Amino acid sequence: MTMQASPSEPSTPDLASRPLSSDDVATAHARQLRAGWYRQHARTIVTTAAIALAVIVIWQVWRISEANALATVRRIGDERLTLYASTVDGALDRYRYLPFVLAMNPAVQTLVRDGGGNDRVNVYLETVNARAGAAALFVMDIHGQTLASSNWSEPLSFVGQNYAFRPYFRSATAGEAGEFFAIGVTTGRPGYFMSAPIHGPTGILGVAVVKVDLDRLQADWSEGGETVLVSDENGVVFLSSRPNWKYHSLGPLSADTLAQIRARRQYNHTRLQPLDYAAPHRGVPDAIRIDGDEFIERSHPLSQPGWRLHYLSPMAPVREQVLGAVGIATVSTFLLVVFALYLRERRARQRSRDQAREAMALRALSTRLQAEVDERRRTEHELRSTQDELIQAGKLAALGQMSAAIAHELNQPIAAIRTFTASGERLLELDRREDLAQNLRSVSQLTERMALITGQLKTFARKSEGRNRPVALREPLDAALALLDGQIRAAGVTLTVEEPAPGLTVNGDPVRIEQVLVNLLRNGLDAMKDAPERHLSVRIARDAEDAVLRIRDNGHGIAAGAMTQLFDPFFTTKEVGEGVGLGLSISYGIVADLGGTVRAHNNTPDTGATFVVRLPLIDTPPEPTP
């Protein structure tokens, strides 16, 4: 039964088995195009990606190394700032008490109160300063006139000078401690002035001042090779490790500010020009440029109002460090790229070598295969010609055998006829008519026998003219048994016929099936010739789609070496004159024509052989025999 899918069955969306649409084809085509494009441009893509990667790596190295270098520079700058701020403060703090001490000295007070000789105070101040180490100590009256000074004996003595215009003087006369940085109008040397009021019974009578020299600090900074500046509240640089930047402003000064500074004569007659100062780096907020040199600037307010300490680290080492790192990164990347290219090249060379080797191996293999094919062809050709020769030889041998058999069969009656004819002539001379008649009868019998032999040959050679039709197997079997009935009886054979399922029908020509059965039954009878008891059994049974007919005898069985040649034409083990070896060969051909098989085996453990004919069954009942 054939299985059919019912039309109502839901169709499953099986993508794998659905037919390809034009969209699929277009997508596949596009994919192919894309793959081709990628293959073609692989080198460009890889190179571009490598360059991009290298640029990114170098840029990152640049960024990171710059950030690191800047961080280090800033840290060092901040540490220095803290240190120098404390040294500036320390340098000034050392003297801060001194104006008060001077102001409280009775001799000083007497001098500012009563005037008169200042010798004592001059000596006192000189002595104190010899210990204190300030630039100068001096005492002014309430009008700003210097009455006594530690440098009274030097050419540029302050004694007699008036410093009423100085802010530190004004602060002190107002009752407060004053502090002020300025270039000395007398000496032309810069210094930090710290003042204190000198109190008398009637109020402030004068001012005591300490001038501190800060040049020492600058010298230390310069010796350390560092760039350090101190600017005042107006942005004027008044201390600097670089002398040429001193008394320049960090930015332009307004006219008012300038006028104010001039009035205080703070920086004497210096021009206070602005430095060539700029912030060049957009990415680095604390980068500056002064006079064309780039620095990282860290600054810190000092305890003096408006004062700022600046620590400038040169940018060049940062640049060098960054450039060094970038250089190393570039060289490394370049080496890496060269190495990668070398590896790629080596791999490509290796691949092409492998390919060449494979191609060579393939070529060798193909040559060998070709040689083998040629060899096979030659062998086949030789075999075929040998086979042809063998067939030819076999045919000739068979023909010889057959001729011998036929000659033998016919020779006997011919010889007998010749004898009868010769004796017939003699009998005629003697006029023995009776004997002659007997003689002629014998001749006639002999010719009949000869006709029988040739007739038999003809029977085997003849082709049935009948057409195939449904045949109940029992029908040709009965016909064959009837034909052999005489022989069966004469030989005293016990015959058994079994047909468990009667009416088994095959398609075929009944005459030819009968020929097959006659041949097999006759062979059985021949084989049992010398058996003490002869049993021949025939059984027709069904096996699946086939009708199976077995003919079994208890004769001598099939000779050992004969099994493989049984069905060959002209193969016989019988005496000359008894068989020509055509029966089984013809039977085999007939059964094969009907789509069946015929096989033989010896009976075990009994003696004899069994021939099994297998023919395909048909359902149609047989036509009634006319």
Residues that bind ligand ADP (CB under 6 A): 519, 523-524, 527, 553, 555, 557-558, 562, 566, 571-574, 579-585, 609
Is residue 401 within 8 Å of residue 581, measured between CB atoms?
yes
Cα–Cα distance for residue pair 536/480, rounded to 1 Å:
14
Smallest distance from ligand ADP to CB 604, Å? 14
Instruction: Tell me the residue number closest to ligand ADP, measured at CB.
Output: 579
Instruction: Considering the complex, state which of residue 109 and residue 519 has its C-beta at the smaller distance from ligand ADP.
Output: 519
Rounded to a whole number of angstroms, the minimum distance from the CB of residue 497 to ligand ADP is 17
For the CB of residue 447, give the shortest distance to ligand ADP in the complex, in Å.
23
- Please answer whether residues 266 and 257 qualify as being in contact, where contact means their C-beta atoms are separated by less than 8 angstroms: no
What is the token pair recorded at 499?
A: 């047909």
Task: Please state, in angstroms and rounded to a whole number, the distance separating the CA atoms of residues 250 and 290.
Answer: 9
Nearer to ligand ADP, 178 or 583 (CB): 583
Residue with smaller CB distance to ligand ADP, 505 or 519:
519
CB nearer to ligand ADP: pick between 312 and 609: 609
Nearer to ligand ADP, 204 or 612 (CB): 612
Q: State both tokens at 279.
A: 């912030």
Contact 200, 109 (CB under 8 A): yes
Q: How far is the CB of 578 from ligand ADP (least distance, A)?
A: 7
Looking at the Cβ atoms of 416 and 562, the one nearer to ligand ADP is 562
- In order, the DSSP letters of 515-582 are HHHHHHHHHHHHHTTT-SSEEEEEEEEEETTEEEEEEEE-SS---GGGGGGTTSTT---SPTTT--S-
* Minimum distance, C-beta of residue 551 to ligand ADP, in the bound complex (Å): 8
Q: Rounded to 10 degrees, what is the CA torsion of 247, 250, 254, 258? A: -10
Judge if the upstream peptide bond of residue 305 is cis by omega within 30 degrees of 0.
Answer: no
Three-class DSSP labels, 184-247: CCCCCCEEEEEEEEEEECCEEEEEEEEEECCHHHHHHHHHCCCEEEEECCCCEEEEECCHHHCC
Task: Report the nearest approach of ligand ADP to the CB of residue 611 (Å).
Answer: 6
Contact 354, 346 (CB under 8 A): no
Separation between Cα atoms, residue 542 and residue 318, nearest integer Å: 109
Shortest separation between residue 405's beta carbon and ligand ADP, angstroms: 9
Q: In whole angstroms, how far apart are CA 269 and each of 182, 238, 264, 593?
A: 11, 14, 11, 143
Choice between 147 and 517, CB closer to ligand ADP: 517
**Cα–Cα distance between 507 and 359 in angstroms, integer?**
61
Measured CA to CA, the distance from residue 442 to residue 436 in angstroms comes to 10
**Residue whose CB is less far from ligand ADP, 235 or 581:** 581
Shortest distance (Å) from residue 431 CB to ligand ADP: 46
SS3 296: strand
| Choice between 231 and 523, CB closer to ligand ADP | 523
**Smallest gap from residue 395 Cβ to ligand ADP (A):** 17
Give the nearer residue to ligand ADP in terms of CB position, either 108 or 580.
Answer: 580
Toward ligand ADP, which CB reaches closer, 413 or 581?
581
Query: Rounded to whole angstroms, how far apart are CA atoms 286 and 295?
Result: 8
Three-state secondary structure call for residue 448: helix
Is residue 291 within 8 Å of residue 250, measured between CB atoms?
no
In the bound complex, what is the minimum distance in angstroms from residue 571's beta carbon to ligand ADP? Answer: 6
| φ and ψ of 494, to 5 deg | -85, 125
Closest to ligand ADP by CB, 206 vs 476, is 476
Grouping H, G, I as helix, E, B as strand and the rest as coil, residue 289 is strand
Measuring CA to CA, which residue among 537, 517, 509 is closest to residue 606? 537
Contacts of 166 (CB under 8 A, 6+ apart): 144, 178, 180, 182, 193, 264, 265
Nearer to ligand ADP, 134 or 582 (CB): 582
